[in-house]
Amino acid sequence: MKKSLFNIGLAALLTAGLLSSCELDETNYSTVSLDLAYKNREGFEGLVNACYIDNYFLYGKMDGIAPMEMGTDLWVNTGNNQAGYVLYNDDLNTTTGTLNVLWQSLYSTINNCNTVLYYADEVEGYTQDELNAKKAEAHFLRAWANFHLVEQFGDVVLNTQSMIEAGPLVNPTRNSEEEFYELIFSDLEFATTHLPINQVDLGRAARKAAYGLLAKAALQRTRLGEESVYAQMALDAAEELIENREAYRTDLYQSDNAQSGFAKVWAGENNKDNEEALFVQVIDHAGALNPEGWNRGRTRQYFQADTRTVGEPWGTVERSRIMGRANSRYYKPTKHLLTEIFEPREDTPDTRFESSFFIRYYATEEKVITEDMANQFDKDPSLIGHTILSTALKGSDERVKAANYYAGIGWADNAKYEGFVNLDEGLSMFTPNWNIDPAEKRMMPFLVNDPSDIFDAQGNYIQDASRREVYPSLSKFSNITYAYTEQYHMGNIAYMRLADIYLVAAEAAVLLNQQTKAADYVNAVRKRAALKDREDEMVVAAAEVDIDFILDERARELVGEQWRWYDLKRTGKLNSAYLSATNPAITSFNSELHLKRPIPINFLNAISNANEFGTNGY
């Protein structure tokens, strides 16, 4: 009754013309529907491209460097940052922020790849071959992400369905590591079949990437048993690539008498189109069309020695375009890396130490050695009053001066400007990995830290703050050609290199008792580490090549390239005996716990069965 009364009243009002406007559907100009986007070529390829983005958050970034490179025989921490990954202390727990980024990056890639594969059935405008080539990218990247996921976190959730298709699952369950590898291998089988050999875009996965990953994943799978089956799979994949390297458009740089092949890998002029790179993070250095724009390439700064405080009286500067900025210093090399993995000798044929580390630091300001400095660093009194010359550019233009002040443009720019000085006269710090005779050291007019200055008898860094923070700094991810500011470096990053695959082949061959073959692959890598005329000094005999030797060789070749933790895990070296022998700072390694990372709390907080799922023991 009441309602009808209302309706009469309402009807009267509605005749005022209101009826026409009561549709309540939404208009949204800033998005398009899933079907419109992904069933057509442009949108579908935009989705394939999305699968590449997450890798930009793991390479050149703390969030990937710490879990992939640290906690090994190569590095100790400076200060507390990421100490959990380095030392396996209680800093590494479910709430560690970088852990969540790692986890989410990997699951993000996996979901995007799943979405590509879901829409691949419906997208229009492709021939079957074209479509397979795009699908192959998704299969490859899904394998890539699952490989990292299973190695870092173990038996977690293996997801093969897109969120679009399956919706959110709030009570997920675990899958075995073997199941992970099954999917990785089937994805890579598709990728090695269908990925183009030559991609127009350098950053897009080509077939060489799929073979590279297949070799690495198969070798890694040996840790779960059926060693010979998977060693053979690894060797086959590696040899496919090595033997047909020209066809797959890759090769090792070879040495000449001026520069070793290894040095060429890291030379600025080879950065953007690197022959050895199998899969690469392309950085736009001109227009910053990168995830997070210019905020790229900070790897070098995490490994930097203290040029800001200790080096300052000697003329070094906190901000230098070639070295990066010394305000986020996290990692320094172990004594094991400096003196056992690399040969601690001045004139080794192996150029890899000097091509991988800064050991000479130059003054950007004229400095006079004072009595205090001489006393503190054990210098001969005759050096008091000695002037260390500035190597910084000297421009007359005011704007250049300002740029120099704020950007800290370093010695390498000198050639372009007036005021060039002999670099030796501007040397302010020197950090060789070989010990120098103390008498000789006293007479050197610059700060010298050799291993005897920075390590105690146990192989730990000494306490003296003025000494312990000056050490060789990783230089692989820095060259002046692509230095943008003292923070950002716009060089490409090779995720995977051919030299790595040579060493994978060698390791697989050792597991299959093919010593000679193993030595051949090892020597191929070793020889080009020397200048052409000293290659012969690098050759090792087949008998010397065993797993331990290859592991050291991998460190020499790949230090800093975010593979070391996997290498130790695969070869069973993630144990307290090996770690304490090579890296005495690690005192709390627990092999029950630390072979897998904690499950991030953000994920556990979002599911309904967190207790059942568990934290991986943390």
Partner 1 sequence: MKKLFLTIMPLFLLPLALMAQIRVEGTVVDSHDYPIPGVNVYIKNTTTGTITDINGVYTLTGVAPDAVLVFSSVGMKTQEITVNSRSQLNVIMEDEIAGLEEVVVIGYGTVKRRDLTGAVASVKNEDLTMAPVSNAMEALQGRVAGLDITRASGRAGSEPEVLLRGNRSLNASNAPLYIIDGIPGSIATINPNDIESIEVLKDASSTAIYGSAGANGVIIVTTKQAEKGTVQVDINSYYGVNGFASYPSALQGQAWLDYLGEGYTAAYGEPAANRNDLLTAYSLTPTQLNRYIENGQWVDWVDETLRTGTQQNHSVSIRGGNETTRAHFSLGYTEEKGIYKDDKTEIATMRSGVEHEFRDWLSAGIQTSLAWRDRNVRGSRINSAFSTVPLGEVYDAEGNINIEPIEGHSTVNLLADEVPGAYKNNAKQIRVTANPYIDIKPIKNLSIRSVLGTTLTTQRNGEYNSDRTYMKLIGSGGQVKTASYANSLSYSYTWENIAHYNFDLAEGHNFQLTGITSWTNSQNENGYAYNEGFDYDEFLFYNLNAGNNPSVGSGYSHTKKMSYAGRINYNYRGKYLLTISNRWDGASQLADKWHAFPAAALAWRISDEDFMAGTNSWMTNMKLRVGYGVTGNANINPYVTSTEVQSSDYNLTLGSAQSQVYIPTQAVGNPFVGWEKSYNTNIGLDLGLYNNRIEVVFEWYNTDTKDVLFNRPLPSTSGVYGPKSTYNMMSNIAEINNQGIELGINTRNIINRQFNWESMLTFARNREEVKSIDLGSNIEVDDLIALNLFMGHPVNTIYGYKKLGIWQANEADEAARYGREPGDVKIATVEQFDEEGNGDGGVHEYSANDRQILGSLSPDWTLGFQNSFYYKNFDLNIFATMRWGQMLDADLMGYFTYGRVNLPSNYDYWTPENPTNDFPRPNILGNNNDVALRSLRYVDGSYMKIRNITLGYTLPDRIGESIGVRKLRVYSTVNNPFIFTKSDLLKDIDPEAGGGDTFPLFKQVIFGLNLSF
Q: Which residue's CB is nearer to partner 1, number 257 or number 605?
A: 605
Interaction residues for partner 1, span 519-578 (CB under 8 A): none
Of positions 69, 74, 86, 112, contacts partner 1 by CB under 8 A: 112
**Greatest pairwise CA separation for the chain in angstroms:** 111
**Beta strand 324-325 pairing with 319-320:** antiparallel
Core vs surface per residue 429-463: b (16+ CB within 10 A) or e = bbbbbbebeeeebbeebbbbbbbebbbeeebbbee
Interaction residues for partner 1, span 471-530 (CB under 8 A): 484-488
606 contact partners, CB below 8 Å, separation of at least 6: 170
- Closest approach, Cβ 86 to partner 1, in A, equals 12
Of positions 125, 130, 166, 371, contacts partner 1 by CB under 8 A: 166
Size of site (CB under 8 A) for partner 1: 123
Interaction residues for partner 1, span 252-311 (CB under 8 A): 282, 284, 287-295, 306, 308-310
Binding mask 203-222 for partner 1 (x = CB under 8 A): xx------------------
Of positions 4, 29, 418, 543, contacts partner 1 by CB under 8 A: 29
Interaction residues for partner 1, span 314-353 (CB under 8 A): 318-319, 325, 327
Interaction residues for partner 1, span 82-111 (CB under 8 A): 83-84, 89-91, 93-96, 101, 103-105, 107-108, 110-111
Contact call for residues 613 and 172 (beta carbons, < 8 A):
yes
Which residue is associated with the tokens 């590494």? 92
Contact call for residues 53 and 144 (beta carbons, < 8 A):
no
**Beta strand 473-474 pairing with 357-358:** antiparallel
* 354 makes contact with partner 1 (CB under 8 A): no
Binding mask 399-428 for partner 1 (x = CB under 8 A): -------xx---------------------
What is the DSSP-derived secondary structure letter of residue 336?
I
- Closest approach, Cβ 461 to partner 1, in A, equals 13
Of positions 127, 128, 200, 437, contacts partner 1 by CB under 8 A: 200
Q: Which helix (H) or strand (E) holds 543?
A: none
Residue 217's identity, in one-letter code, is: A
Closest to 317 (Cα-Cα) out of 519, 45, 309: 309
Q: Which residue's CB is nearer to partner 1, number 399 or number 418?
A: 399
Interaction residues for partner 1, span 572-611 (CB under 8 A): 600-608
- Closest approach, Cβ 43 to partner 1, in A, equals 5
Which residue is associated with the tokens 């000198």? 414
Interaction residues for partner 1, span 171-190 (CB under 8 A): 171-172
* 462 makes contact with partner 1 (CB under 8 A): no
* 247 makes contact with partner 1 (CB under 8 A): no
Alpha carbon 185 to its chain's center? 23
42-to-120, 124, 128, 295 alpha-carbon distances in Å: 13, 10, 17, 28
Binding mask 43-72 for partner 1 (x = CB under 8 A): x-xxx-xx-xxx-xxx----x---------
Of positions 6, 193, 368, 572, contacts partner 1 by CB under 8 A: 6
Contact call for residues 28 and 111 (beta carbons, < 8 A):
no
**Structure-token pair, residue 71:** 């906690």
- Closest approach, Cβ 95 to partner 1, in A, equals 5
